[in-house]
Structure 1
Amino acid sequence: MRSPHRIATHPPDAPIDHDRPGDTAQLPASSYSNPYDELAALAPNPLEEFLHEEKDEPGADAPWTPPNHRRGSRRRTRFAGLPLAAKAVVAVLVATAFLALGDRWALLYAEHEAAEKLKDQMKLSAAPEVDIEGFPFLTQVLDKRVDKVKVTVPDVAADRISLAKVSATATDVTIDGDGPTSFKGALIGEMNGEVLLSFEDLNRELGASQVTFTGKGHDQVLARGTLPVAGHDLKVRADARIQRNGDRGISTDIGGMSLQLGDLATYRPGTRSKEGLHLSRGSADRVSKETSKAKALLSVPAIVKRLGVPDSVVREALKSDTKLNELTGAPKFVNDVMGLNLIDVAMGHPWLLKKLGLDPALLDGLSKLTRPVLADRLTLAFQLPKLPGEGAMALQDVTVEKEGIRVRIAGSGIGVGR
């Protein structure tokens, strides 16, 4: 490979040595030009631009004004260009809207006044909800007659309980007043409604005994829960039959009341043979099998008399375990022990209850829990508030539903605020 050759360069004013190889003839000085000088000549001078004064163009300082987009005065507005019939329709629509707004305002005012008068007249804790039906309302006011009015009253006090809701629909209502702002009262021609006594409210208001109420059938309510007696929580069971009582009230016939002392005994208030405090079958079986309990029971003469066991048999049984087992092992003995009313026979022998596994303090508590007292704790009877004004309202029928007791009411000639 050949090595690269260097080409010698000469400045323009350097002499050429013809004897040296590689030198060429000298070019004329005028034919040589510097390329950087040519580029500098093409570029503008920054000092000239900086020192140059620009002349203001005419109209440069004139203030800016928005363009004029106004249409000619000959052009009419859109509303002015509408036909006369269209203008009349628009005017009627606007007037109708204002009349409807005024009608609704008068309706709301009348409903408020009617609710306040009902609250004061019936001595309610809160104003009821009044809904006047029919449109327009002002024409009904001028006629002084309203077709239909719905009234809903929540939480009405009725004796010891509160009614969840009383709702009624009044028809043929005559208004007493000169206008919607001068409402004085009304006369209800006919009214139909219903009263709801909810089980949820009953469970809350009568919940001191921790008893819950549920419906059974169309006229029966079951009460189940616990009742504190002498420091013990006894299981309570009762069945209440609901029926109408007069024109304004309902009554409850409570039956099947019982208090269970665990699996030891059951208390049923009353004076009949099956009522009182009786041992359960399990407790009676244990008495027949445990010698100490059987002897404790037979050692009380009043109990022996109620069992109908001869005195000679009892004396032999207390002396001999064999005779005792013969006496207590008979099926009749268990049934007879279950038939004993421990409230009567053990009143003077509280130690006997303790021997049988019962707390003697229960005697005093259960003896005070008579049938009327227990029935009063579980009663669902109530009376509707009497109307302070004129007119008559009466209960029609009573039904038991899943959510509570529903009573239908009807009335006529009822005056409000008069």
Structure 2
Amino acid sequence: MRALRILLITAVVLGGLFVAADRLLLDYAEQEAAERVEARQGSSGTTEVSIAGFPFLTQVAGKELERVDVTVRGAEASAGGRRIVVTEMSAALHDVRLGGGFSSATATTATGTARISYADLARAADEAVTLAYGGDGKVKVTGSVDIAGRTLSRGVVSTVSLVDGDTIRVRADEVPGEGIPMVESLIRQKTDFDREISGLPQGMELEKVQAEEDGLVITVSGRNVPLTG
């Protein structure tokens, strides 16, 4: 009986040491992965990596991780050739395969969202244009034009959509003309625009875009997405 008790105590102690070692190595791996993601993407923002599943050591031994969650804040992309800041991008990467020597990691599938503030989107639009949430999934775009010595400023409610798989399109639902010839066309030249989004992580593609209170939310997905390497 005493021998059994000693065996159980030993098993508990060894199990505790295994768990502690597993968690220490997990913390190290997450920090290392975050640094490699930043290096690969040339990210100017901050990166957080969380590796799911337990135990971590058995996943490493099998060279495949169940799921890796990556959050990047303040990264730079481009819209129509203009610099744009992605407020936050979060992605869940599934079935991450580890390469030889653990020098690379590639996710079989990935899904996530990217958020762009209206202020940053406005910087990618034409000059003298402001953007804000217009309610009911719409965007409010305000622009000014000079007509016959008068400056007209108009705010329009616009629909935002994704076209050609990589371009955000903003179009006013209606522009009040007030009986002035060509005013609608001139206002639309300011408020309507298309911006191609590039610079997202390799392998990730845009799926849809939606206007919310604090910015545009872009759904992204990908296959065989390189995490590091």
Sort the TM-score into its range (normalised by shorter chain). Answer: 0.7 to 0.9
What is the Cα deviation at residue 172 of structure 1?
A: 1.1
Structure label with greater radius of gyration: 1
Aligned partners of 1:194 and 1:267: how far apart in 2? 43
Q: Which residue of 1 aligns with 2:136?
A: 217
What is the Cα deviation at residue 228 of structure 1?
A: 9.9
What is the Cα deviation at residue 408 of structure 1?
A: 1.3
2:89 aligned with 1:166, yes or no?
yes
What is the Cα deviation at residue 203 of structure 1?
A: 7.3
Gaps of 5+ in 1: 1-81, 260-265, 277-369
- Judged with a 3 Å threshold, the aligned counterparts in structure 2 of structure 1 residues 126 and 196 are, in CA distance, closer, same or farther, namely closer
The match for 2:183 among 275, 293, 297 is 275
Correspondence 1:4-403 to 2 at 5 A: 83-159=2-78, 160-178=83-101, 183-199=102-118, 209=128, 211-218=130-137, 220-224=138-142, 235-254=153-172, 256=174, 273-275=181-183, 374-375=190-191, 379=193, 381-388=195-202, 392-403=203-214
Aligned partners of 1:144 and 1:215: how far apart in 2? 48
Aligned partners of 1:144 and 1:398: how far apart in 2? 35
Q: Note if contact 2:144-2:190 (Cα within 8 Å) is conserved in structure 1.
A: no
What is the Cα deviation at residue 151 of structure 1?
A: 0.8
What is the Cα deviation at residue 115 of structure 1?
A: 1.1
Aligned partners of 2:201 and 2:214: how far apart in 1? 27
What is the Cα deviation at residue 157 of structure 1?
A: 1.9
Q: Note if contact 1:247-1:393 (Cα within 8 Å) is conserved in structure 2.
A: no
Q: Note if contact 2:129-2:190 (Cα within 8 Å) is conserved in structure 1.
A: no
Q: Which residue of 2 aligns with 1:339?
A: none
What is the Cα deviation at residue 170 of structure 1?
A: 0.7
Encode CA deviations 1:362-396: one digit per residue, 9 max, x unaligned: xxxxxxxx557624xx75835041545xxx33222
- Judged with a 3 Å threshold, the aligned counterparts in structure 2 of structure 1 residues 115 and 102 are, in CA distance, closer, same or farther, namely same
What amino acid maps onto 1:104 in structure 2? R
SS state at 2:104 partner:
strand
Q: Note if contact 1:158-1:382 (Cα within 8 Å) is conserved in structure 2.
A: no
What amino acid maps onto 1:385 in structure 2? G
What amino acid maps onto 2:199 in structure 1? P
How many matched pairs?
221
SS state at 1:381 partner:
strand
Aligned partners of 1:163 and 1:110: how far apart in 2? 25
Structural RMSD (CA)? 3.4
Aligned partners of 1:92 and 1:267: how far apart in 2? 86
What is the Cα deviation at residue 406 of structure 1?
A: 1.6
Higher relative contact order (CA 8 A, sep 6+): 2
Encode CA deviations 1:298-324: one digit per residue, 9 max, x unaligned: xxxxxxxxxxxxxxxxxxxxxxxxxxx
Q: Note if contact 1:398-1:407 (Cα within 8 Å) is conserved in structure 2.
A: yes
SS state at 1:135 partner:
coil
- Judged with a 3 Å threshold, the aligned counterparts in structure 2 of structure 1 residues 403 and 414 are, in CA distance, closer, same or farther, namely same
Q: Of Structure 1 and Structure 2, which has the larger fraction of its residues in helix?
A: 1
| Identity within the alignment, % | 24
